Amino acid sequence: MVQNKIFSANKTLNVNGRLMNLATPKVMGILNVTPDSFYAGSRATDLTEILLRAETMIAEGADIIDVGGYSSRPGATDISEAEELQRVVPVLEALRNKFPQIVLSIDTFRSKVAQAALLAGANLINDITGGSDPNMYPVARGKAPYVLMHMRGTPQTMNQLTQYEDLLREMIEYFHVRIEMLKQAGVTDVIIDPGFGFAKTAEQNFQILQHLERFHILEKPLLIGLSRKSMIWRTLQTTPDHALNGTTVLNTIALQKGASILRVHDVKAAREVIMLTSQLH
């Protein structure tokens, strides 16, 4: 944890005028308001159920709740912008009304959805495509921290786009270019997400994790999303339902390599990982 403390000691996010200090890693709880996300335990479509799930995550120690209305699992069905808006806006409004202090994130790659989400109470934009929508960066400007993820293609095509000459070098170049674009667009609070499982094989995912500290050259906080992903359950020859232990192991490694935010389905387990690893000096 020494490396994480050195990197994060002076890192803060401006969340609507409130400063979020990343010296202690944070937990982002996943709230999928979709019928088809890869992990069944993360799906919720009934508003009462959604609010109860959010309440549980907050009680377990979530710092951020990430609301997604578009499944990004490999091969997921594409949905319209109108349907995505219909899924996420009422949920964000209800969450903001019931939990006024929680930081809310909108998981979307569409600028109109992001803009509507910010108006509905979201504080942060989590964009899996890193800005495929040219209007996304202007939406984030001066309004919200922005999660910049690495991927190629779309959820429908990314599994066919895993060929790299030098994976880590190409990823870092990708981030350098987009960080500069974000800076030019006036977006100052940027978080990096390596995009585990997005246009990467299991072997490539483990390569990224093994060398995660290389991304500190970008001088941005790292958000890590490993929770119950196929790199875990396929390696262990099990299912997403039985991948919590594996998730905990890899989240521990990510924290030791300087992760600032863990994006997870299981908030309590992630909070315990942070509490235990924080005792290592």
- Our answer to whether residue 98 is catalytic in this structure is no
Residues 6+ apart with CB under 8 A from 96: 104, 120, 121
- Our answer to whether residue 271 is catalytic in this structure is no
- For every residue of the chain, DSSP letters joined together read -HHHHHHHTT-EEEETTEEEE-SS-EEEEEEE-SS--SSGGGB--SHHHHHHHHHHHHHTT-SEEEEE-S--STTPPP--HHHHHHHHHHHHHHHHHH-TTSEEEEE-S-HHHHHHHHHHT--EEEETTSS-STTHHHHHTTT--EEEE---S-TTTGGG----SSHHHHHHHHHHHHHHHHHHTT---EEEE--TTSS--HHHHHHHHHTGGGGGGG-S-BEE--TT-HHHHTTTTS-GGG-HHHHHHHHHHHHHTT-SEEEES-HHHHHHHHHHHTT--
For 10, list phi and psi in degrees, rounded to 5.
-110, 20
C-alpha atoms less than 13 angstroms from C-alpha of 125 in its C-beta half-sphere: 35
Catalytic residue among 229, 257, 268, 271: 229
Residues 6+ apart with CB under 8 A from 161: 152, 153, 199
Active site residues: 229, 263
